[in-house]
Structures are given as C-alpha cells and as structure tokens.
Amino acid sequence: MALVEVRHLVKQFTRKDGMLSRPSIVRAVNDVSFAVDEGETFGLVGESGSGKTTTGRCMLRLIEPTSGEVLFRGKNVLSFSREELRLARRDMQIVFQDPYSSLNPRMTVRQIVEEPLVIHRMGTRSERADRVVELIRLVGLNPGQLDRHPHEFSGGQRQRIGVARALALNPSFIIADEPVSALDVSIQAQVVNLLMDLQDKLKLAYLFIAHDLRLVEHICRRTAVMYLGRIVEMGETAELFSNPQHAYTKALLSAIPIPDPDNQPVRIPLNPKDINFDAPLREIAPGHWAST
Amino acid sequence: MTPEPLLQVQDLVTSFPTRAGEVRAVDHVSLELRRGETLGLVGESGSGKSMTAMSILRLVQPPGVTRGGPVAFNGRRDLLELSEQEMRKIRGAEIALIFQEPMTALNPVFTIGDQIAEGILVHHQASRTAARDRAVELLEAVKIPNAMARAHDYPHQLSGGMRQRVLIAMALACQPLMLIADEPTTALDVTIQAEILDLLREMKEKFDLALLLITHDLGVVAGHVDRLAVMYAGRIVEEGPVRRIFSEPAHPYTRGLLASIPGRTPGKRLASIEGAVPNLAALPPGCAFEPRCPLRFDKCPTAPPPPFEVDPGRSARCYLFDPAIVDRPSIVDRSGSIGDRPASSGRPS
C-alpha cells in the first residue's frame, strides 16, 4: 500500500513582470499525481524550474499548495490542523540540498540534531542526549565531535549531520532534495551509500529529487520525470530508462554523460513540436505511464 | 609528427602564505596543450584546477604568488616573465576564459551585443559599428537564434544555456588561440550541458583552438577531451590520453573516481573513496592521497611521488609505477574499481 499519495497537486504562483503589466499566473506544479510505497525510493527528476522541489515542499506543507491532496497513510495532510500537521511532521522529514546553508552556523551539532526532539517534546534531557549520540553514530560521525559547529565539518560530514537531524524523530518518509549535488564526487558516493544503508536498517521511504539521472538510475526503484510542472512519464526506473516514451524523457536520457570515450550517446534533441502538452498520462505498459 | 605544443607549462607553483605556513594551491603542475586539442583538467573542489588556469593567466591575487615555470606559450618563452602590460594583450586576445557562472560573468546593465563588442574594441582597432556587426556574427556562430535582435537583450532576458553561449561568443570575439573553460556546464541542466559541450567542441574544430576544459565530473569529459589530467591536492596525479585512462586508470585516486560514477550497478552500494580531501595546510609528508589509498604501501608516506611513466604518453604520481621498486603490491584489479591490496604482499599499511 502507498505510504504517501499525491493527487492532482497544483501550486500556482502569481507573477508580476512590471509595474504596468497585469499579473500572470504560473503553474509551477500542474496536476501532479504519484504514490510512494513504504520502504521504496521514488525518484523525481527534471530540469531546474520543472517543479520538482516545489512538489516536495508542498507535500510537507513547507509551502502551501493551491489545490490537490497529499495522503499520508490515507489521511489528507492538506486538511490537517496545525497540531495534526506538527504530529505528522514527525513521520515526514526533509534533507536539503545545500549542507552549508541548511545548518545553523551558531548551533553545535548536538543542538542541531537535538532540536527536533526538543520541539516535539520527546524524552527527558538524558534520553535526548543518548538519542543524539545514537543518531550521530548511525550516520557515521564521531560522538566526540558533537560540540563542534558546522563550519568545522566538510560538506559530506555536514550532509550527514542533516541526515541525522532528519532521522531524529524516527520518520518513515524522507524527502531528499538533491542531497548530494553540492558535494564532491568522491564524497557523493559515501552519502548515497549512507542513505541506502539507512533505508535498509530503518525501512525508510525516500522521495529522491535529483537532476543527476545516473544517480537516480542507481538508487530509485521507480521514477517520475517532470517537465514544465507536469509529470510526463513515470514507471519502474529500469523500464523507463530502457524504454522511454515521452519526447522529453528521450532527450533527457540521451543527454546523460557516459563515462566511456568510445561509447558516446547519440543525443536526441528536444523539439517542443514533438510534445503534446495536453496529452493525459496513460498506462502504456503495466506500471509505465506516459503523456504521449 | 606531432606539432609543437601551443602551451607548455613546467613545474608551475602557486602558493599562499598562511598562519600554518606556505600552502601550495598549485604544486609543480606541468602540462602541454596543442592547437586543435582538448585537455580535460579534472579534480574536486580545492584540488587546484581553477587555480592552475588563473596561474597560467597570471590572475592570482596577492598574497598568492605564482612561481616556477616556465609557462611557454605561442613562441613566448615564459609568460611569468612578461610585464603586466604585455600580459594584458594576451588575456582575452590570445587566451580567452569562460567562467562557470554565466549570470555573474555578464554585466547586467549592458546588452549582450555591447559586451561582446567591448572585447573587440579593447583589443583591436575597429570601429564601433564593425565591432557591433562582428558581435552579431559571433552570436550566430554560437547558434543563438535571431542573433540580430538578441544582441539588444540584457543578460537577465536569457536562459542559463543562452547566457553560456553568449560567454562563449565573448571568448571567441578576439579570435584567441586557446580557450580555458572553467566548469562551463556545472550550473546547467543536463540537456543544456550536452549542447554546450557540443558547441565548445564545434568551435574548437572550426577555429583550431587549444581547449582546456576544467571540470569536477569525469563522466562529462569522457566524450569531449583528447587528454586528461587528474588533480588532487594541487598536484596532477595522472595525465594521459583519455581512452587509456578510462580503460585502465593507473592512479588509485583516478580509479576511485571512475568507480564512484553511479549507474553501473543499479541498486548496489556505490564504490566510494573513504575519508575526505586533505587540508592543503596539513598535507601528509608523502603522497597526498596515501591516507585514503587502499593500495598504499611502505614507500608512500616517505616523500611525494614524482610522475612515473605508466605507458608511453601517460604518467602517474604513484609509487606503484616506480620502476625502482621491485617488490611492490601488484595491481590485480584493472577494471576501474579499487581492489583490496593482495594479502600476500605482507607489507604494513
């Protein structure tokens, strides 16, 4: 059964280009529907501006969507009261892209990781202290470093701190928004491995938002491709990568750099004329949806 | 016969004084580049790849100091000995630079046509109209649709990919011999990234340029460079033809980087390089990669390894390739992943 289900999600922004022009409406997220199962990694890919980050943030109500439903264990998060939402957030957490700006530089690692526990009034002081040590070990850091500040850590270590904070309340669903794209290549693999290990250990479900398709192919069981605010194709990752149907997916996949000088991809350029923007998503093979 | 290199850098060093002593951001870097050739300079942030480019162009700001050399370029014996005035004639006119961030590299208050024309006016005797016409030609060359009208646009009216095309047009404005592209596609989407790399290649061929392509992503350069230099902690640790390096990486760091590119074994753990990039102010006494290296042996911590020949035209700064060491761990796994050091070698690690 689906752990999180997004139904017809819409987020509109009003945009004003100049003093005299009339405001126009931009649909950053336009009728997006998908479901993430318990314990699975679901990839959300697309170019910048395609609406993937906005979708993720709407799901946690970090920004309020315009319409639609986000069902978490069958309950609509969008109709929750403040208190219900506070409780729900224990179960749904986020890891941000930039480990430099997403950790408060004035707080120690201990305070950063403990903060969610304090806000949610979990445990006594000593229980919380034990939990912080447990979490920091879980993400592969040394508890001896707990009283240091974020600037004393490398990018990869900071991202581990961000993961520890997200895990503090023992969630079952984590939105990982480009969690490794700010990291060096040799460090990316470490953090990706950590996320995969934690998933095995804690039965986490991830919504993995990324633009690096190689990474998505590596870790996501299913993937949805977003283009201009819509999901244009969705399916099992292996099927989607080997048998893309939508013109945008084809162009996107053909642009993935191949680390082999003798086996370079033939790029398929994107021609907007090939895209039928009104085509609904339809199931072209079991579990494989495309708007063609 | 291979033609003379256009650029020949020997033992270039750029250092910064710090409280912890001298820090070498560029540490005895040597490289060669011919016309019509693309050299990929690959490394993680802080490895010194951008600083190498800045050092060649003598753009390192004090207290940074560039020394060593010579940096021979286009018949000149050593760029490091030129006066600032002579150097200014080379920058832009003979060696052009394309930056990573296409928004900050453009001036928001001038039209792109004016910005391209400016370079031509600075370096050449050309009338304002001639320079404008040339700017439009260049915009056409980098395939900006409707170039005549677009020349009147301001940078904010263009997408990231289009801005990067404008920067390429600006770089080509004075018909340089060499182009340095510093992470030209990092800020761009994957489809645009491929287009820009194709464009760079096309421009290189059309104008017979020497292209130095700086990037942190090994996967990106595979299809776009002839030779590859891999940097780690200020040093070039492996250098050679791209095909040889991708098929049989020599330096353990290169092998680790190649193995950590995702997509080869879906669902499995990625091969990763343990540890983190060292602090340049506190480098290990021997090979800078030694603390992270799964193949290290007793020679490694003694002194930084010089480049050893791996095969003709390829070198690596790694004692595994030191012909003077007979009893060294053999390299069993040449597939690109780092294999465990053979247990039989019996050396302390």
Angle, nearest 10°, between helix axes B252-259 and A185-202? 50
Measure CA B87 to chain center: 21
Round to the nearest angstrom and report the end-to-end CA distance of chain A. Answer: 28
Closest CA to B328 of B307, B301, B286, B300: B300
Verify that B197 and B263 share a domain, yes or no. Answer: no
Residue among A48, A184, A197, A223 with most chain B CBs within 10 A, to mutate: A184
In the A/B pair of chains, how many CB contacts fall below 8 A? 113
Name the closest residue on chain A to residue B216, using Cα atoms: A185
Q: Is the dihedral of CA B259, B262, B268, B274 positive or negative?
A: positive
Tell me how far apart the alpha carbons of residues B253 and B218 are, in angstroms, rounded to a whole number: 12
Tell me how far apart the alpha carbons of residues A92 and A207 are, in angstroms, rounded to a whole number: 10
For chain B, the domain total comes to: 2
pLDDT category at B334 given cuts 50, 70, 90 is very low
For residue A189, give the amino acid letter.
A
What kind and span of H or E run contains A5? strand A2-15
CB of B338 within 8 Å of a chain A CB? The answer is: no
Classified by CATH at the fold level, domain A36-61+80-91+169-290 comes out as Rossmann fold (3.40.50)
Closest CA to B327 of B299, B291, B285: B299
> What ipTM does this complex have?
0.80
Is residue B187 predicted with pLDDT exceeding 60?
yes
B2 assigned to some structural domain: no
CB of A262 within 8 Å of a chain B CB? The answer is: yes
CB of A36 within 8 Å of a chain B CB? The answer is: no
CB atoms within 10 A of CB B67: 12
Residue among B202, B243, B272, B335 with most chain A CBs within 10 A, to mutate: B272
Record: contact B220-A257, CB cut-off 8 A: yes
What does B205-234 look like in DSSP terms, one character per residue?
Answer: HHHT-EEEEEES-HHHHTTT-SEEEEEETT
What pLDDT is stored for residue B337 in this prediction? 43
Mean pLDDT by 10 residues, chain A (292 residues): 93 80 85 95 91 93 94 93 90 88 93 94 92 93 91 89 93 93 83 92 94 89 94 95 93 87 83 84 93 88
Average pLDDT of B8-30? 93
The radius of gyration computed from the CA coordinates of chain A, to the nearest angstrom, equals: 20
Residue with tokens 């011999």: B177
Phi, psi of A267 (to 5 degrees): -80, 140
Q: Say which of B160, B193, B270 has its CB closest to residue A189.
A: B270
pLDDT category at B331 given cuts 50, 70, 90 is low
How is chain A split into domains, by residue range?
36-61+80-91+169-290
Contact of B103 with B155, CB cutoff 8 Å: yes
What does A90-102 look like in DSSP terms, one character per residue?
Answer: TTEEEE-S-TTTS
Verify that B123 and B245 share a domain, yes or no. Answer: no
Residues 6+ apart with CB under 8 A from A272: none
Record: contact A255-B258, CB cut-off 8 A: no
Tell me how far apart the alpha carbons of residues A285 and A233 are, in angstroms, rounded to a whole number: 12
Burial of B168 by CB count in 10 Å (0-12 exposed, 13-18 middle, 19+ buried)? buried
What is the reported pTM? 0.86
What pLDDT is stored for residue B290 in this prediction? 94
pLDDT (tens digit, 9 = 90+) per residue, A229-247?
999 999 999 999 999 999 9
Tell me how far apart the alpha carbons of residues A230 and A218 are, in angstroms, rounded to a whole number: 23
Record: contact B222-A261, CB cut-off 8 A: yes
Contact of B236 with A271, CB cutoff 8 Å: no
What pLDDT is stored for residue B126 in this prediction? 81
Verify that B174 and B276 share a domain, yes or no. Answer: no
Average pLDDT of B59-82? 92
Average pLDDT of B210-222? 89
Per DSSP, the three-state class of B303 is: coil
Q: What is the CATH number of the domain that holds B125?
A: 3.40.50.300
Name the closest residue on chain A to residue B217, using Cα atoms: A185
Is residue B39 predicted with pLDDT exceeding 90?
yes
Verify that B32 and B175 share a domain, yes or no. Answer: yes
Q: B45: distance to nearest CA of chain A, Å?
A: 7
What does B60-78 look like in DSSP terms, one character per residue?
Answer: PPTT-EEEE--EEETTBS-
Is residue B110 predicted with pLDDT exceeding 70?
yes
Q: Is the dihedral of CA B89, B94, B100, B103 positive or negative?
A: positive
What pLDDT is stored for residue A24 in this prediction? 84
Last residue of a domain, one of B175, B195, B230: B230
Closest CA to B285 of B307, B256, B305, B262: B305
pLDDT (tens digit, 9 = 90+) per residue, B120-161?
888 877 888 889 999 999 999 888 888 899 999 998 888 888
Verify that B202 and B265 share a domain, yes or no. Answer: no
Q: Say which of B194, B242, B267 has its CB closest to residue A267.
A: B194
Record: contact A255-B190, CB cut-off 8 A: yes
* No. of helices (H) and no. of strands (E), chain A: 9, 12
CB of A19 within 8 Å of a chain B CB? The answer is: no
Angle, nearest 10°, between helix axes B112-123 and B128-141? 120
CB of B159 within 8 Å of a chain A CB? The answer is: no
B1 assigned to some structural domain: no
Name the closest residue on chain B to residue A197, using Cα atoms: B269
Average pLDDT of B328-338? 50
What pLDDT is stored for residue A63 in this prediction? 92
Contact of A10 with A65, CB cutoff 8 Å: yes
Is residue B197 predicted with pLDDT exceeding 80?
yes
B178 assigned to some structural domain: yes
Is residue B327 predicted with pLDDT exceeding 50?
yes
What pLDDT is stored for residue A262 in this prediction? 84
pLDDT (tens digit, 9 = 90+) per residue, A91-111?
999 998 888 889 999 999 999
Domain containing B58 equals 7-230
What pLDDT is stored for residue B328 in this prediction? 65
Verify that B101 and B151 share a domain, yes or no. Answer: yes
Verify that B297 and B280 share a domain, yes or no. Answer: yes
Tell me how far apart the alpha carbons of residues B235 and B237 are, in angstroms, rounded to a whole number: 6
Q: How would you write A118-180 as a 3-class SS string?
A: HHCCCCCHHHHHHHHHHHHHHCCCCHHHCCCCHHHCCHHHHHHHHHHHHHCCCCCEEEEECCC
Verify that B124 and B271 share a domain, yes or no. Answer: no
Give yes or no for a cis peptide into B63 (omega within 30° of 0): yes
CB atoms within 10 A of CB A287: 12
Phi, psi of A69 (to 5 degrees): -135, 145
pLDDT category at B2 given cuts 50, 70, 90 is low
What pLDDT is stored for residue A77 in this prediction? 93
Residue with tokens 């990092």: B186
Average pLDDT over chain B reads 87
Verify that B218 and B312 share a domain, yes or no. Answer: no
Average pLDDT of B48-63? 93
Residue with tokens 């033992």: B11
Average pLDDT of B192-221? 89
A211 neighbourhood in chain B, CB within 8 Å: 189-190
For residue A94, give the amino acid letter.
I
What pLDDT is stored for residue B340 in this prediction? 38
Closest CA to B182 of B161, B168, B163: B168
